[in-house]
Structure 1
Amino acid sequence: MSYELTRARVETYFDRTATRTWEALTSDAPVSRIRETVRKGRDEMRARMLSALPADLRGARVLDAGCGAGQMTAELAERGAEVVAVDISPELLKVAARRLPDHLQGRVTFRAGDMLDPGHGTFDAVFAMDSLIYYSPADIDAALSCLSSRSEKTIFTVAPRTLPLMAMWYTGKLFPRSDRSPVMVPHAPERLIARHNGRDLGRVSSGFYISHAMEVRA
């Protein structure tokens, strides 16, 4: 499946099917035990990715590629960065904008559209947390090349090729059938690190959340 077709499926899922699900998952609202493991894993992964950058980001321009409900966006802005927060889902962007504290409003620009659009400009860093997990190896290679050409470093995650992850995903236990996400494509982090001269930032495994972080430089 091409990048454009996959992107369209992801847009349909997040913007029309599961906005409320992800709004709850990324909040303090009560969720099921299964979703609680996902929430905990995402919090741990976000902290892991942020640790790859200095605590003081004043003067830095950062792209949050696939910002979703805006948790990463807010933390980057809190560190002083100028953040361009892009997501394919206008509905999730509304959630992110509504949640952003007033004192950070001047540091964030929200944009609906393709995270790879060169019109977003150049950056000191790009974050793509779980926003590339639905794409093929060829599409991820192309996306990383595109992002790296406009950023000093790109910090991203993939779904690692592990039997437990794929077993859990295909049994559909993460979400009810009515709001199940498009199927992730598993990847070998070692291949991506070698192909893009990257740096391994480690794996987070929390119940039904398994994700692997890496960094590539321009």
Structure 2
Amino acid sequence: MTYEATRSRVETYFDQTATQTWERLTSTAKVSRIRETVRRGRDRMRARMLARLPDDLRGARVLDAGCGAGQMTAELAARGADVVAVDVSPSLIEIARTRLDPTLAARVRFACGDMLDADLGRFDYALAMDSLIYYGAADIRAAITGLGARCDQALVFTVAPRTPLLMGMWYAGKLFPRSDRSPVMVPHAPATLARGVADSGRLADLGRTASGFYISHALEYRA
């Protein structure tokens, strides 16, 4: 499947099929035990990624690539960054905009569209949390090198790791009910990705976060 076709499926899922699911998951509302493990895992992964950036981001321009409901965006803005928050889902963009503390609004520009769009400009840092997990090897290498080349410091992103546990859970359909199951994640081995981008930059392994039905692996690319 091409990058454009996968992106279209992701947009349909997040903007039509599961908007309410993700709005609730990313809030403080009570959720099922399964989704609570996903919520805790996402919180831990977000903290892992943010730990790679300075606490004081004043003067830095940061891309939140696939910003979703805006949790990462809010934390980046709170550190003083000028944030470009982009997502393919207009519905999630609106949720993120509504939730953002008004005192941080001047530091955030929301954009609906492709997170890899070169027209978004250059950045000091870019973060892509669980927004590249649906793409195949060629597409993810192109995304890493293309976006990473526009980052003066680093691109921090996640992939779905190639583990029997993850794939077993995924194919058993345990992560979400059948009615709002997300597009299929494509697992990647960090070592294989590192070899694939070695000609253009360095890939650092930041480790894995696993929480019940959530599992994701963080990586850092520097051109």
TM-score by length of 2: 0.96
Query: Deviation above 2 Å: which 4+ runs of structure 1?
Result: 193-196
**8 A Cα contact 1:37 1:206, kept in partner:** yes
Q: Deviations over 1:148-199 (max 9, x none)?
A: 1111210000000000001101111111111110010000011223433211
Counterpart in 1 of 2:100?
100
Q: How does 1:159-170 map to 2 (within 5 A)?
A: 159-170=160-171
1:172 matches 2:156: no
For 2:123, what is the secondary structure of its paired residue? coil
- Across the aligned residues of Structure 1 and Structure 2, the Cα RMSD in angstroms comes to 0.7
How far 1:81 moved relative to its partner? Answer: 0.2
2:196 & 2:186 partners in 1: Cα distance? 18
More strand by share: 2
Q: Equivalents in 1 of 2:51, 2:137: separation in Å?
A: 26
> Which residue matches 1:210?
215
Q: Unaligned regions of 5+ residues in structure 1, if any?
A: none
- 1:154 and 1:148 map into 2 onto residues whose CA distance is 6
Percent identical pairs in the alignment equals 69
Q: Distance in 2 between matches of 1:46 and 1:15?
A: 22
Report the TM-score, using the length of structure 1 for normalisation.
0.99
Which residue of the partner structure matches residue 70 of structure 2? 70
Matches of 1:137 and 1:85, distance apart in 2 = 25
- 1:114 maps to 114
- Residue 128 (1) aligns with residue 122 (2): no
Q: What is the total number of aligned residue pairs between the two structures? A: 218
Whether the 8 Å contact between 1:62 and 1:125 is mirrored in structure 2 is yes
In structure 2, the partner of 1:60 is 60
SS in 1 for 2:187: coil
1:40-91 deviations in whole A, cap 9, x for unaligned?
A: 0000000000000110000000000000000000000000000000000000
Task: Confirm or deny that 1:200 pairs with 2:201.
Answer: no
What CA distance in whole angstroms lies between the structure 2 residues aligned with 1:114 and 1:107?
21
1:43 is matched with 43
Residue deviations 1:118-157 (CA, integer Å, cap 9, x gap) = 0100000000000000000100000011101111210000
Rounded Cα–Cα distance in structure 2 between residues aligned with 1:193 and 1:45: 20
The answer for unaligned runs of 5 or more in structure 2 is: none
